[in-house]
Amino acid sequence: MSQNPLNPNAPKPLPSPTTAPPPPPNHPQQFGMVQQQPPCETQNNIVPPSMMTNNAAVVAALQGKCDFPNNKMLMEYTQEVNRRGHRLEKQPYYVGMLNADDVAPYLKKVGDFGVHACDQEGGQVRLMLTVRGNSGVYHFDMVFDARGRGWNFHPMPPRCLFHKTVIELVDFHRTTPLPSIPEKICLRDSITRPSWFLKHDNVTFDKNDLLGKGNFCEVYRGKLDRRKLIAVKVCRANWRYTIDTVESNTKEKDAREALIKEGSVMSMIRHPNVITFYGICCDHPPIMIALEVCPGNSLVKHLIEMKSVISVGERIKYLYEAASGMSFLEKK
């Protein structure tokens, strides 16, 4: 077995799970997870090999692109995804970076399912399959075999088959029951993507047209479907291939989750005194929210600069409209 070209000092791959003895309870040696081993120096970063491979495989599965062109295994996998037309973000059952709790309400019938990307602690990214059973909702981690054999679920069943792409794995279980659960369930109907889910291609913006910014988000003037003028709120926190610091990864994970939560809440709000929400792009980072763009400067700036000429009636109007919008939000 050849060594990882990005990490020549990495330990040799583990034996096949069909022949290797099981690890002791609570042992960190679990396929597809960050191994508890000394980090290895690369050109610029300290990279846990399993985290790098897993996150890169998720990006390849979703977008059909490889961020490590010198890694033969990852490049061959990416080429296979594109050759088959198996980009996951093009599939109707892929619901972006919603967490498991947000996906479950969309599953109405036994066999209804969706695939989504989940942030893990420490910077790890996982693809997850969520499916409705007779007695509840089940969640399956989808993991990429670091030796390039393909995708399967974790924990893997004995004598399991590996599938070259995530789509092939999903299609296989449309006729073969899912493993490791007490029910024999096959995948049936995929859930319908929420109407407020946008594709990244739907939203464009000019980085030079900045409207405002915060710790992890920036707001730009942009366009929806290249026609409608909008404000685009962009979360700069991207997926990583390095461990960096737990604090940094946690803050970025929280920033992504907060923006998705904001989009979920705003999708239920329609009021003349609340900024209109058009949708969210959350198939992969950067996460973006498309909002109504308000002409002119901010109300605060207007009140400060024009305070001497603003009439009492105008002030009362501002107060009434702001209170009306806040009252509506409170009821929601």
Tens of pLDDT, residue by residue over 251-262, are 777 888 888 888
Q: Edge-to-edge, what's the strand order for the sheet holding 228-235?
A: 203-213, 217-224, 228-235, 288-292, 277-281
pLDDT confidence of 15, banded at 50, 70, 90?
Answer: very low
Give the residue among 274, 292, 285 at the shortest CA–CA distance from 232.
Answer: 292
Query: How much is the pLDDT for 249?
Result: 67
pLDDT tens digits, 177-207: 998 888 999 999 988 888 889 999 999 998 8
| Cα separation, 201 vs 39, whole angstroms | 37
231: which strand partners? 221, 291
Least confident of 145-159, 166-180, 184-198, 265-279: 145-159
Give the residue among 113, 91, 92 at the shortest CA–CA distance from 104.
Answer: 113
**Res 154 pLDDT > 60:** yes
What are the structural domain ranges in the chain?
A: 200-295
Query: How much is the pLDDT for 122?
Result: 66
Region 1-30: mean pLDDT is 38
pLDDT tens digits, 55-106: 888 999 999 998 888 888 888 899 999 999 999 999 999 999 888 888 888 8
CATH superfamily of 200-295: Phosphorylase Kinase; domain 1 (3.30.200.20)
**Res 240 pLDDT > 70:** no
**Res 43 pLDDT > 70:** no
Please count the other Cβ atoms lying within 10 Å of the Cβ belonging to residue 319: 10
